[in-house]
Amino acid sequence: MTDDQARITVVLRDPETHAAQILPLDGPYTPAMLATAVGVMEELARRLNHATQWFNTSASLPEPANVDQLVAGVETLVSRLPQLLAQLTRRLDDFAGDEELRSDGMGAPGKLAPPVAAATAGRFLGQAGQHLDAATAALGSAHNCTARLYLRTPVGNQ
């Protein structure tokens, strides 16, 4: 095993430790920490997209169980996002009641009074949360199927 493979294995075994280095579960939190956390999520999604392209899958997803592991993880990830969106909506509601809230006036939202723009953003986040609830249900159904798949002759024993 190379040093890189060993490092990746450690990361895969304990993702909570690595996530805690970026964003401790019990805080304190700063805007920069939140931006870094979402940036890592964005980058990891891009890298997962690359790793699961058809020309990489014989190495990255050699067994149905490997696909199942990703399906289960994506299901968990998506199931947690509606809570985040609801919390962002609550914060926008707080801003909507703040007399200091302003808008730069650029684009379509700029034509809305700032409290209305905040409330409208909250409604859109709520809609996104509902779609994510439906996506979570579909991913759960997919996971129920992928969890039962296997190759008669496992890779490496052929």
**Residues 56-114: pLDDT tens digits?**
888 899 999 999 999 999 999 999 999 999 999 999 999 999 999 998 876 665 578 89
Listed in sequence order, the residues at least 6 apart from 8 whose beta carbon sits closer than 8 Å to its beta carbon are none
> Considering the domain boundaries, does residue 100 fall inside one?
yes
Contact at 8 Å (CB) between 85 and 124?
no
- What is the residue range of 45's domain? 1-51
Tell me, yes or no, whether 81 and 108 share the same domain.
yes
- At residue 6 the predicted structure's pLDDT band, cuts being 50, 70 and 90, is low
Tell me, yes or no, whether 68 and 37 share the same domain.
no
Residue 55's pLDDT is what?
A: 86
Tell me, yes or no, whether 17 and 40 share the same domain.
yes
Residue 134's pLDDT is what?
A: 97
* Assessment of whether the complete model's pTM goes beyond 0.95: no
Contact at 8 Å (CB) between 78 and 132?
yes
Tell me, yes or no, whether 79 and 142 share the same domain.
yes
> Considering the domain boundaries, does residue 57 fall inside one?
no
Listed in sequence order, the residues at least 6 apart from 21 whose beta carbon sits closer than 8 Å to its beta carbon are none
> Considering the domain boundaries, does residue 96 fall inside one?
yes
Mean pLDDT of 109-120: 85
Contact at 8 Å (CB) between 115 and 96?
yes
Tell me, yes or no, whether 99 and 40 share the same domain.
no
